[in-house]
Amino acid sequence: MNEKILITGGCGFIGSNFIRSLLNHRQNISIINLDVLTYAGNIDNLRDVRKDKRYRFVRGDITNGLVVGRLLKKGVDAIVNFAAESHVDRSLYNPAVFLKTNILGTQCLLESAIKYKIPRFIQISTDEVYGSLGPKEPAFTENHPLQPSSPYSASKAAADLLVKAYETTFGYKAIIVRSSNNYGPYQFPEKVIPLFITNAFENKSLPLYGDGKNVRDWLYVEDNCAAIDLVLRKGQPGEIYNIGGQCEKMNLEITGTILNKLGKPESLIQYVKDRPGHDRRYALNISKIKRELGWQPKYKFEEGLRKTIQWYLENRDWWQRIKTGEYLKFCRRHYGK
């Protein structure tokens, strides 16, 4: 049977990897990618699949009920909602757009999903909704209270609460997945790993926040895509699944490894003022998804980072166009604002 899926935010980092992975691994599938193309959405991320008959791109905003309704009323088997403002630093200076897309966008999709009786809905959330861990505290389970620290994570937590409220009030059972920090090809070079790789290529400094000892739980994007596909097929409606890399590392360690692999000097590290409200440590307990769906990450950090560095090395045009602002100019010419 042909499965029709609406994927939102498919021109971003994880969404584009997810679409490519679905097209590679599933025959009987058709995908609509609804993306408004913000600064982070890049039409080139899916250049290789644009002629695939199973794939269709629609430029539009998830907060626009008319656009969403038009796509859903023709019948869709599932919605996977990646669309979001995703960068913590930006949320400190321009929170309103985070609240609009991440909260009102999710609400708009939920309303439409109920109206058009969409059988499955996967809300892509984040480990940041749980807040920050102390050095010895156990990793977050799905039952940990939500204690977000930034406008970004507060907006994602609000979206998760809306999903649960729609379940309680209207009986609509969406699934929430909460991933840890992803890295891999096509990640926008404002996030720490691609920023540091591309800066190091160009012998520019690597701005390390605070003392560099904050810890993140790193997950190679292909592993995350495999987990989300499994949840899409076999996840239980109404459940929440953590998706983590079981790979806690300090930023300082990541920075050293990148410099080492590229043969660049440690003098490129520049300690800068800390991010306000900077969460100290994230770590996810993934027992539930392991036990119930049989998923675990395949990539070791060494291997994932090697592939990531290789990709940025081979795709200089992609990130240089972004870093020089060329890509935004292209979007304005072809797609308007």
Binding site for ligand DAU (CB under 6 A): 86-88, 126-128, 180-181, 191-192, 195, 207-209, 214, 216, 251, 275, 282
Distance CA 16, CA 31 (A): 12
CA distance 141 to 150: 20
The contacts of residue 310 (CB under 8 Å, 6+ apart) are none
Is residue 84 close enough to count as binding ligand NAD by CB under 6 A? yes
Q: Is 152 a catalytic residue?
A: yes
User: Given the DSSP bridges, would you call strands 175-179 and 78-81 parallel, antiparallel or unpaired?
Assistant: unpaired
What's the closest the beta carbon of residue 194 comes to ligand DAU, in angstroms?
8
When asked if residue 223 is in the footprint of ligand NAD (CB under 6 A), the reply is no
Neighbours of 252 (CB within 10 A): 16
Q: Classify 12 as helix, strand or coil.
A: coil
Q: CA 155 to CA 95: how far, in whole Å?
A: 9
The structure tokens listed for 39 are: 């600064």
Residues 19-48 binding ligand NAD (CB under 6 A) are 34-38, 40-41
Q: Which residue is nearest to ligand NAD (CB)?
A: 12
- Tokens encoding 173: 């059972």
Q: Which of 32, 118, 122, 124 binds ligand NAD (CB under 6 A)?
A: 124
CB of 190 to ligand NAD, least distance (A): 9
What distance in Å separates the CA atoms of residue 156 and residue 175, rounded to the nearest whole number?
14
Instruction: Give least dist CB 141 to ligand DAU, A.
Output: 16
Catalytic residue among 61, 85, 127, 248: 127
Is residue 93 among the annotated active site residues? no
Assess whether 223 carries a catalytic annotation.
no
- Enzyme catalytic residues: 127-128, 152
Enumerate binding residues for ligand NAD (CB under 6 A).
8-9, 11-15, 34-38, 40-41, 61-63, 82-84, 86, 101, 105, 124, 126, 156, 179, 181-182, 188
